[in-house]
Amino acid sequence: ARTIRLAAAQMGATNRSDTRDHTMNRMLQLLDNAASQGAQVVLFPEIAFTTFFPRFLINDPEELESWFEHGDIRTAPNTKALFDKAHGLGVDFAVGFAEATDDGEHFNSCVYYHAKSGSLLSKYRKIHLPGDFEPFPDPNALNQLEKRYFKPGNLGFNAFRVPDLTESDAKHGDAIFGMMICNDRRWAESWRVLGLQGVEVVLCGFNTPSFAPELFGSSKDQDPDEAEKLIIFQHQLCMQSNSYTNACFSVSAARAGVDDGKYALIGGSCITDPEGRVIAEAKTIDDEVVVADCDLDLCNAGKSRTFDFIRHRRIEHYGRITQQ
Ligand code: CDT
């Protein structure tokens, strides 16, 4: 067995006016809590250090820039404490953040931090940016202006090896991880590109509104409770079905709760196994740690039989997937 203990650090409401210190303290507590439960890898949500600002139209360039992280995420004043703490605890983590590059580009990104070496093993920049460039004309509509604030990711979906997590011999000691962000999980292509690299654990932080008819193109007359149930169902459906068809575990971490008393986001953070089962899930929409032991050898059945891509794929029929 190659069993590792994984955690999702779900975060509850984070308001527009919350200070960065306040949010950071919550993240440090979540990390402590996960570490005390023996978690080896902790996943924080998408854009975890602030509220989900792409819901707002922000015209002042200085204000907009203040929502982004600049410089080395490990040592920048607004984010350093989390990396220091993880280094001290010896716990790896992945976290989502709004990235401003040195040459002025903006991405919706996440990194995987390897605590022992103090290095970033991987960075991912969100590829499927949902929503719009322009806000909806209806002032009451919920906006998702990711297309305005971010460029589509330019790094691809790269699986990467994480050492030191399992106690097996050197050959099988590494675990193969991959990352995606929120809307990416709804696209089979994101998962398959990672699956083709033998991914064993997919990490996905998210911010998903629980009722947003304009965003989802659904009826405004729906019952909000029913709409929320459907949105949670679709989130978990994506995590479960794609874990199954790529024979991998997955961890998803929500920014949940009701921001500013009015912007409701789903919880439903979960860990799924390679058979497509949910093996742990959040019970609240608050700050909560979800933990599961994952034996990576359980990926072998799917990878060697039903989803042995080398033997069974028929790529001659998949051309349309990469054509306009
Ligand atoms: N953050 C993010 O990508 N959220 C989207 C909201 C829906 S846009 C139609 C999501 O896919 O969950």
Pairing mode, strands 270-272 and 249-254: antiparallel
Q: Whose CA is closest to 101, among 143, 32, 154, 53?
A: 154
Q: Report the SS3 class of residue 289.
A: strand
Above 80 in pLDDT, residue 108? yes
221 class by beta-carbon count within 10 Å (0-12 exposed, 13-18 middle, 19+ buried): exposed
- pLDDT, one tens digit per residue, over 229-264 is 999 999 999 999 999 999 999 999 999 999 999 999
Distance 234 CA to ligand 1 centre (A): 11
Kindly state the percentage of the chain with pLDDT values over 70: 98
Mean pLDDT of 310-323: 97
Tell me what pLDDT residue 193 has: 98
Map tokens 């984010």 to a residue.
79
Q: Whose CA is closest to 124, among 81, 181, 68, 70?
A: 181
Judge whether 17 and 227 are in contact, CB under 8 Å: no
Per the prediction, the chain carries an average pLDDT of: 97
Mean pLDDT of 110-131: 98
Q: Whose CA is closest to 153, among 184, 177, 187?
A: 184
Q: Is residue 46 flagged as an active site residue?
A: yes
Complex ipTM > 0.90 = yes
CA distance 119 to 324: 38
The tally of CA atoms less than 13 A away on the side-chain side of residue 264 is: 13
Tell me what pLDDT residue 88 has: 98
Q: Is residue 182 flagged as an active site residue?
A: yes
Tell me what pLDDT residue 199 has: 98
Above 90 in pLDDT, residue 24? yes
Distance 102 CA to ligand 1 centre (A): 27
DSSP string across 231-262: HHHHHHHHHHHHHHHTT-EEEEEEB-EEETTT
Give Cβ neighbours of residue 280 (< 8 Å, ≥ 6 apart).
8, 270, 271, 290, 291, 292
pLDDT confidence band for 4 (50 / 70 / 90): very high
- pLDDT, one tens digit per residue, over 167-220 is 765 455 799 999 999 999 999 999 999 999 999 999 999 999 999 999 999 988
Ordered structural domains, the chain, with CATH: 3-322 (3.60.110.10)
Amino acid letter, 123 = K
14 class by beta-carbon count within 10 Å (0-12 exposed, 13-18 middle, 19+ buried): buried
Tell me what pLDDT residue 168 has: 63
Name residues contacting ligand 1 (CB within 6 A).
46, 130-131, 144, 182-183, 186, 206-208, 215-216
Tell me what pLDDT residue 173 has: 75
Tell me what pLDDT residue 172 has: 59
pTM above 0.90, yes or no: yes
Catalytically annotated residue among 69, 99, 182, 303: 182
Residue 296: how many other CB atoms lie within 10 Å: 22
Q: Report the SS3 class of residue 56.
A: coil
Measured in whole angstroms, the distance separating CA 15 from the mean position of its chain's CA atoms is: 20
Residue 151: how many other CB atoms lie within 10 Å: 14
Q: Is residue 316 flagged as an active site residue?
A: no
Phi, psi for 18 (deg, rounded to 5): -60, 135
Q: Whose CA is closest to 273, among 312, 316, 244?
A: 244
